[in-house]
Each structure stands twice: as structure tokens, then as C-alpha cells.
A and B are shown apart, each in its own frame.
Chain A
């Protein structure tokens, strides 16, 4: 066999195709510029942009698990919101126990309390995710209709269990002292907590990309999203992989729940289901199964909610629905459609 017989040939994407592929990346800065033009005041814009990015990061954290779970196993967990609430309650329990640390002016103690709360919340939601996957999701793999219904049932039951454990009332808790108040940057007030949220969100995005692109387990996840059957035929039990991803996804929902709870300083058993609306919009905009799409979608939704919340408060949520409609008209499968083998 000589090389000349089989001519190496690879299709080079044309310039317009490259632009088309990268276009979603431009949406975030474009939206920021439009926001600046519409708002007019630079400092107000800066405050709103920081708020929007922080909100987007938190939604991204909650949505990322959902979208990977779908990509890998074609499962949409309508009960995902329950883990957001559960995480918030678990985290707040720890924060409540560590009241002294939170009120103390020491940043180290504050941060320690938050980290412990986050760790506990992720542990609880991760373990709950294990039970949820085995009991609720596993029996209905591949049956979409039943899956939607049964995970919805799981949501109802989990919410009720939160009432059983923590009581029916909302819990109000002030943020740790170090994360109250704002920085003033260029005349704009930026809440400290939002900066923290942005930092955590970015770190998580980078970490996720590293895990997905640099590790063997990440390689398996990416392969599984495309063609789970082939992953099995290569000898990897995809169910175990899926269970692990499901638990991580739930733990991330728990993390997002604590962060969202500290942001609002109030938590209820329904908070997860409420945030889920934005989460669903984000994963639809991003393209089900795509982490990058999810990230961009979350930023867009966060920014748009805050811009419209300032300009026309009544239309904040409706504007994100309109954004979703517009995106779907442009790309019916979302910004980054995941190519499935089947």
C-alpha cells in the first residue's frame, strides 16, 4: 500500500463557516454593548453587568449538570430544581450552626463557614442524586414521557421531604460579614458577593473544561455524549459513568443552590423549581448537552434579565423567553447543537 493511492484529504472550513461557528461567542459582548447604549449611564451599566454576570454564573453552575446529564444519557431531570433547594437548605443548616463564624469580621472564618456549607451541601445533594438516579431515573431510561413525569413526581416528593425535615417556613439568613456591602469601581457600586459568584463560576467553568478535555473520564464523557453505545462496545460501563455524572450534576445544583440562597438571603423549598425556569431557558438556548452553549446561554440570560429588569422591570422574564425564541429561530437546536451519532 503506498501513500499516494490514498490521498490525504480533509475539508477545510471556509471563512464564512468559521464565522458562523464562532458567532455565538460574539453574542455576549454584543448584548453588553446594546445594554450600554440602552442604559446610557456607564456606572449603572457596570453595576448591572456585574449583577448579570454573577446571576449568569450561578445559573450556569446549576444548569451545567443538567445539560451534561442530558448529553450523556438523553435524560432530562425535571426534578433538578429539588437539588437546588436541597443544597440551599443543607448549606444554610451549616451556616446556621456556624453563626459565630459568619458574624465574625475575620474573612478567614467567614470563608471557612461558606466553604464548609458548600462542601456539606454538595455532599448531601450528591448522595441524594445517587438515590434519585437509582430509584427515579434508572427504571425509565429511554422513555421520555415517563421520564418527564416521574422526575416531576420526584420533584414534588423531594420538596415535601424538605418541608418534613426543615419545616414549611422559609429560612432567612444574612450573608457572612465579609461578603456584605459593595466595592466602588469607576463610580459604580459592585456587590462583593457578586464578585465572589463570578470568580467561583469562572473557576468552575475552567475546571470543567479541563476535566472534560484533559482527563480520561472527561474523554469518556465527551465520547458518551456522542455515541454511548460505542463507548459500551469499547468496554466501558456507561451506566456507572452516567451515575457518576448524575451525582456530580446534582452536587453542582446543590452548590448553585447555596450560592443562590446566600445571594437572596432567603430560601424556600420552591426556590429550586423557580430558578429552574431560567435554567431550562439557558440549556435550550445553549443547545442541550453542550457545556459551552450552557455557559454562553447563562451569561446572556443573566445580563438580559438585569438590563431589562432595570429598563422595563415587568418584562425581565419575558425578555429571556423572547431571547430563547430568537435563538431558536436562528438555530433550532440551540447555539451549540450536540452532534449525536444516532
Chain B
């Protein structure tokens, strides 16, 4: 049953299985294990980023295509839901319509980009997507009438999903059962489903063709697979998944703006998560996202302590300043590419 849910793609390492189970249960019981608004927020972000990063891995790790437009698709999904909620009011139909439209638009955009540039070299594709995504970001920031511009959009979601809605009056295990909790579980189970769908995709015959193309595009073409077509489909699927993750983000934050969905910083974060977690394995996305987001919150504390103890040395204390956590992750990223290209998952699997 479990193996079937995982589409036959077992973790293949005791350590990895243990870590994954820990993450699964940690997230499942997050509201009770780590009470508090901030930790619940971190947990929800982890769920959403797992999907976002996994969908990126479909492209990068499984297909061998480097795209810098992934946050654009993420943003399209988020803005789709947000715009629907703003214009149609806080209703479930608005959420559904916005989510579907966002996914469709993302898919269509991905199709156009794929049409234009997948025939050419990887480098071309990377540069093109970077340019297009940046232009999209600027456009969204400027079309303030439609997108709220730089300030973004704040909106209301159905009452049952807000903290104001109380499921029961009393606290259960010290936690208030309110609408925010419901939203968390919507996010959690949606993310879980999307992740399992992605897992299914990469372990299907389609996924295996993608990997064959990544290994040797020329040979795959010779065997008779239409490389461009497969790459295009992977790009589109990955974009749709990213858009769905974006819709979840819009739902969770009740706010959508350029900085939370479209910014290049998020794109870099996704890259770091995929590579450090492990390219070419969906579980890598899980590990990468968890590690990164926890680091983002907690490495800063650690560095803060380090800095205090090194306070007197001028440059050194700057290097370990809490704001410089990205410096350390950046170096880890470079080292990963050189010495363990399959990331943490590869290490745990001992390959």
C-alpha cells in the first residue's frame, strides 16, 4: 500500500526513511508539536516549498533543463487565486476558479517558452527564462490596477479558514482548533497529494524517458523519442505544479505580492534547496526544503551566538553575522555540486 503510494520509489536507505518519516509526522502534527504562529507558518511554508522544489526537480533533476522562470509560474498560481478572491469575494468557488485559471495560464506560458527555446542549448534556455521571468516581475510590479503593484494584494478567504472561526470552544492539547488550523491541514494534505502525484510522474514510463533524455538526448532521439516534445511536456507539467503550489501560498498568507512569489531571491532559494537536497530524487526536494527553511529560521540564531562570542574580530564577526546565513548556504551549494552532486539524499543512499 505504502509502496504503491510512493509509486515504487522507495527511499532505499534506512537513514533516509527515518528522516522522511520524521518530517512527515513532524508536519502532520506540527500544530500540536510546535505550537505558536511562527512555527506553524514555517511548517506551512515547508509543505508548500516541498511541492515547489519537487516540481522544479522534475525539470532540473529529471529532465536536465535549467529554468529560471519557476517563480514566475509559482507567482502566476498565487496571483490567479489572489485576483479571483479579490474580485469575487471570499468564496470557495473563487479559490477553485482562481487556482484552475492560474494553473492553465502557467501551463500556457510554459508552452510558449518551451516552443521558443527548448530546441536550443541549455544555456540559451536558462538565459531566456531568466530574462522573461524578470520582465514578468517588473510587469506585475507596475500593473498596479490589476495586481496591486509592489504592494501586492491582500484579501479575505472564506471564514471557515480564518483564525476567527472556532471549531470547538476549548483548547485541545493546548492548541486552539480554529480556521487557521483547517487551512494548515488543507495546505498539508494538498501538498502531500501533489508530492505523491509528482512521485508518480517521475516513476512512470514518461519519467523514465525524461531521464533517458537527460542522460543522452542524442541517443533518446535516435531511439525514436521526440526529445523536444518530452521536454516541453515536462516544462508544462512542472509549471502547472508550481502554480498549484503558488495557489496554496496565496491561501496560506492571505496576501500575494511580488516579494513573496516572484522575486529572484526565491528562485535562488529553490535552486539551493534542489541541489543541496539532491537533484534527480523527489525526496531530495523534501530534505532540501526542510533543511533550507529551518536554516533560514534557525541558523541565524546559531550564527548570532557565534557572532557574540567572536564580537571583537571585525571581519570575522561580519562573516558569521546572522544576516550572512546565505553566504554559508551558497558555499555549501557550490561544494555540493562539486563533491556530492546527488546532494544529501545521494549521501544517505551511499551512492
Contacts and interface: CB of A to CB of B under 8 A. Distances in A.
A157 B138 CA distance: 25
Nearest to B143: A314
Interface string A276-291: 1100110110001000
A163 B310 CA distance: 18
Nearest to B117: A328
B63 to A, nearest CB: 10
Interface in B260-284: 264, 268, 271-272, 275
Nearest to B138: A317
B268 A328 contact: no
Contacts of A152: 268, 271
From A78, A164, A328, name the one whose CB has the most chain B CB atoms within 10 angstroms.
Answer: A164
A149 B271 contact: yes
Given A144-B121, A145-B122, A317 B134 contact: yes
A139 B134 contact: no
A79 to B, nearest CB: 10
A148 B66 contact: yes
Interface stretch (A120-128, A188-196, A207-215, A318-326): A318-326
From B60, B264, B337, name the one whose CB has the most chain A CB atoms within 10 angstroms.
Answer: B337
Given A154-B334, A284-B124, A325-B116, A145 B64 contact: yes
B108 interface: no
Contacts of B131: 277, 280-281, 284, 321, 324
Contacts of A315: 139
A160 interface: yes
B118 to A, nearest CB: 12
Nearest to B141: A314
A164 B122 contact: no
B332 to A, nearest CB: 9
A321 B132 contact: yes
Interface string B297-341: 000000000000000000100110101101101110110011001
B319 A164 contact: yes
B337 A149 contact: yes
B333 A156 contact: yes
Contacts of B272: 153, 156
Contact of A163 (B128, B132, B315, B324): B324
B146 to A, nearest CB: 11
A152 B116 CA distance: 23
B323 A273 contact: no
A157 B315 contact: no
Interface residues of B, number: 43
Nearest to A144: B122
B67 to A, nearest CB: 10
B139 A160 contact: no
Contact of B326 (A136, A156, A314, A325): A156
A332 B334 CA distance: 33
Contacts of A163: 323-324, 327
Contacts of B324: 160, 163-164
Contact of B337 (A150, A313, A321, A324): A150
Contact of B330 (A78, A153, A313, A325): A153
A55 interface: no
Given A160-B324, A280-B127, A332-B120, A321 B334 contact: no
Nearest to A140: B337
Chain A residues touching B, range: 35 or more
A76 interface: yes
Given A273-B264, A284-B128, A314-B142, A321 B327 contact: no
Contacts of B227: none
Contacts of A328: 116
B130 A280 contact: yes
A288 B329 CA distance: 31
A284 B127 contact: yes
A318 B124 contact: no
Contacts of A164: 315, 318-319, 321, 324, 327
A157 B130 contact: no
A112 interface: no
A87 to B, nearest CB: 20
B116 A157 contact: no
A283 B127 CA distance: 10
A168 interface: yes
A161 interface: yes
B123 interface: yes
B330 A156 contact: yes
B126 interface: yes
B323 A168 contact: yes
Contacts of B119: 332
A331 interface: no
Interface string A237-255: 0000000000000000000
A145 B122 CA distance: 7
Interface in B210-258: none
A22 interface: no
Given A139-B338, A314-B142, A160 B326 contact: yes
Given A149-B337, A157-B327, A163-B323, 8 more contacts: A149-B333, A153-B331, A160-B326, A160-B330, A168-B323, A277-B130, A277-B131, A332-B120
16 contacts: A144-B123, A145-B60, A145-B64, A146-B337, A148-B66, A152-B271, A156-B272, A160-B327, A164-B327, A277-B135, A281-B131, A288-B123, A313-B142, A314-B143, A320-B135, A321-B135
Interface of A: 70, 76, 78, 136, 139-140, 144-146, 148-150, 152-154, 156-157, 160-161, 163-165, 168, 273, 276-277, 280-281, 283-284, 288, 313-315, 317-318, 320-321, 324-325, 328, 332
The 6 A-B pairs at the shortest CB distance, nearest first, are namely A160-B327, A156-B330, A157-B330, A153-B334, A277-B134, A280-B127
